[in-house]
Structure 1
Amino acid sequence: MFATLNLSESEDTNLTSADTQMLLERHRPIKIGIISVLGAMITLGNIAVIMVISSSVSGWSRNSRYFLLSLTGADSAFGLIITPLNLCVSLAKDYSEGPDSLCHIVAFFNATIYSTCMYTLATISLERYIAVFYPLKYSSLMTRRRTLFLIAFAWCFPPFLLVPISFPNGIIEVHFSTASLVCNPSYSTNVVYTLTLTCLIFFPCSIIMTCANLRLWFAAKRQRVKMRAQHLGRHNRPDVASRVLVPVMTVYYTCWTPCMAAIIYNAISGNRVPEWMEFLVVWLPTSNGFLNCIFYFWINRSFRRKFCLLFQRLCLTLCPDLATALGCTASSQPVVWDNNNTFQERCSSVSSTCTLITLASDTPF
């Protein structure tokens, strides 16, 4: 996604290029502000998630917490690594400068964290699928060793695939993009390698997530129809499966598909998309690090209750007067959980799976 100026162009074309560069320079503060706000949102959201899942949450097994911690780590890297690295490069890099070693390193970290996030989402969908469709075999299928192996694979396999990007004068070129303010590989310089990456990262993860969540969605629909036929459910019961599974997949494809399409387009045609479209498709996957906090954690009722409890304790510790004014009170009584709800929560790993089992519950998710 890098465009070099043709020195043999006419004077009018050179004037147009100069105007374009001035426009890019004018847009740079706006883009830096957007990136900074996005990084802050991702960091704060995942700090809250880490606070909760580092302690015990009702209904979340040990394996589930491992997978969710892995997802939180990948999402946190968006705010703690991706955003600061690219902001530093965008502030220090001049438009006239070409590729360098720093750009290769930054591009390697960008691609690695993006890929790790996709692999982690795929492993969560796989674990969720096994938890619902093979509950009696779950302990034997998802042992602690296999869980850690899947997590290690999600973190170690992407660097192995993407390590050629980190070498200057390697198999693919890397340039600083004036539109997206990141160091992007020039995918057209090695079409075979680019298509290989998409076939080994994006498409397998998308297939696993789509198949697993579709099976879960159809199972929830069949269960809902069956319960209606037996008059076990209320007619006004919300369609919780669609309320959770559909947004999860919609957000995934909305965040990742445009970026992958732009990569394939650049690799095949050698052209890049317009300025703001490039900025959007490059940074849109990063926003998935914040949206995951909502769809994989905040929708879960156990997570919300535990967060409120920790927030009250924190307020009472740091600002007791303010906490009292806000109505926060210390309570030594343990949280009482409904037995039916506890069983339903334990049957799954994350909120979107819990809803498949809680269709008979009187209290919506």
Structure 2
Amino acid sequence: MHQNTFYFDASKNEICLENCGGMNGAFDIIKCTVVGIIALLIIIGNIFCLLVLWRTKEIHLISRLFMAALTATDLTFGFLVVLPVAVSSAYNIWPVIHDTMCHFHEAITSVLGGALTMSLLGISIDRLIAVCKPLQYPTIMTQRRALILIITLWALPFIYRIISKWSIGLYQLQFRSDSDMCWVCTKQTGHTVYTAGVGLFMVIPCFCTFCIYARLFVIARRHARRIAVLPNNVPQNMDGEVFNMHTKSAVTFLLITATFGICWMPFTGVWLYREITGEATSEYLVVAAQLTTFSSSWLDCLVYYYRSKVFKRTARKMICKMCCCLRSSRRNTTRLPTVRTINVREAHELDCSTTSDWK
């Protein structure tokens, strides 16, 4: 069994030999700080979103399942992709000097990127059924079917990664200092498999997702015209109310999909350019594209918060409760020594007065 070859690029080796993992100028300090802040925002924000979704019972169960799946994928992306990059950027060296860690990070980046796009595709399919069949939706999209759809969409990028790894066989990885990530050496392996992976799990799912939302927009416009024709004294039926509720939810997920597409487009373009041509790109361009991509995993939390009144109300309640708990704990810790001192004095005075009375 041959082992995969791992190596650092020349510039990275020179930095490590001279300064053994120190910072390299103001640009690296700024980059390290920004990546660290983004990692914290992703981890804290998505954990908080999962807690809010768990407490928010007003949101439909199936919608919460799809939102939780996307949030869990973003959280995993923050832990396994962004956090190692933050550590690598801070110490100017890969967290573990071994090819296994580098291969894992490169593989998990591509798998989670595909899982994010497939999760968005699953959400769009769910919204299409909800808008087109609002009354039949509970019987069509059951909890069991939703879980099967989520697991299947998650498994597809992982299966493709295993197949591509088996088809490529032995390949090299290069750790590049501009992105603090591991990249495949395509001069040895070729770029066909990786270009196909980007097409299957980035371009095609995003294209299908936007086509579905375009279809939903046409249906919503048609429904709005029908409502405009009705007299003002005619109340809206149950079908129309459910339709409006699902349409608003579809707009929220459309914003999330658009945010994902805008954030991932620069990094995907840089990645494809490097994989196909094998040439280096500007360090500032790579860092800007990388930071934009990482930011998509915490921007989803803001979209949830500002688009859903129920989500916002539950989040505010949880924040207020946490603040009240912190205030009460601080008051207890500050008052405790004073209360003890007063009790001792009062007990002493009470003892003295009692003794004098008995005399």
TM exceeds 0.5?
yes
CA distance 1:100–1:129, shift in 2 (3 Å) = same
Question: 1:70 offset after TM fit, Å?
Answer: 0.7
Distance 1:305 1:98 in 2: 46
CA distance 1:231–1:288, shift in 2 (3 Å) = farther
**2:100 match:** 101
Is 2:218 aligned against 1:218?
A: yes
**2:307 match:** 299
Is 2:267 aligned against 1:259?
A: yes
State the TM-score, normalizing by the size of structure 1: 0.71
Conserved? CA contact 1:108–1:163, under 8 Å: no
Question: 1:190 offset after TM fit, Å?
Answer: 2.2
Which of the residues 326, 332, 346 maps onto 1:318? 326
Conserved? CA contact 1:221–1:241, under 8 Å: no
Taking the TM superposition and a 5 Å limit, the aligned residue runs for 1:3-152 are 26-58=26-58, 60-91=59-90, 94=93, 100-152=99-151
State the TM-score, normalizing by the size of structure 2: 0.72
Is 2:217 aligned against 1:209?
A: no
Larger radius of gyration: 2
Conserved? CA contact 1:129–1:216, under 8 Å: yes
Deviates more, 1:78-87 or 1:103-112: 78-87
Question: 1:91 offset after TM fit, Å?
Answer: 4.7
Is 2:317 aligned against 1:309?
A: yes
Question: 1:26 offset after TM fit, Å?
Answer: 4.9
Distance 1:122 1:240 in 2: 17
Runs of 5+ in structure 2 lacking a partner? 1-6, 12-17, 233-246, 332-359
Give CA-to-partner distance per residue, 1:119-175, whole Å, 9 cap, x none. Answer: 1111111111111112233233322222111211233222222247889x9454321
CA distance 1:310–1:245, shift in 2 (3 Å) = closer
Question: 1:301 offset after TM fit, Å?
Answer: 0.8
Task: In structure 2, give the amino acid aligned to 1:154.
Answer: L
Distance 2:148 2:73 in 1: 16
Distance 1:314 1:172 in 2: 50
CA distance 1:298–1:172, shift in 2 (3 Å) = farther
Question: 1:222 offset after TM fit, Å?
Answer: 3.1
Distance 1:71 1:278 in 2: 26
Is 2:290 aligned against 1:282?
A: yes
Distance 1:42 1:4 in 2: 29
Deviates more, 1:41-50 or 1:214-223: 214-223
CA distance 1:156–1:250, shift in 2 (3 Å) = closer
Task: In structure 1, give the amino acid aligned to 2:100.
Answer: S
Runs of 5+ in structure 1 lacking a partner? 7-17, 233-238, 324-365
CA distance 1:321–1:171, shift in 2 (3 Å) = closer
Question: 1:93 offset after TM fit, Å?
Answer: 5.6
**2:341 match:** none
Q: Counterpart of 1:282 in 2: which secondary structure?
A: helix
**2:191 match:** 191
CA distance 1:123–1:245, shift in 2 (3 Å) = closer
Deviates more, 1:64-73 or 1:241-250: 241-250
Conserved? CA contact 1:174–1:185, under 8 Å: yes
Question: 1:48 offset after TM fit, Å?
Answer: 2.2
Question: 1:191 offset after TM fit, Å?
Answer: 1.2
**1:174 match:** 173
Q: Counterpart of 1:184 in 2: which secondary structure?
A: strand
Distance 1:40 1:175 in 2: 27
Q: CA RMSD in A?
A: 3.7
Task: In structure 2, give the amino acid aligned to 1:217.
Answer: F
Conserved? CA contact 2:256–2:303, under 8 Å: yes
Distance 2:321 2:91 in 1: 42
Conserved? CA contact 2:23–2:29, under 8 Å: no
CA distance 1:301–1:241, shift in 2 (3 Å) = closer
**1:10 match:** none
Question: 1:198 offset after TM fit, Å?
Answer: 1.3
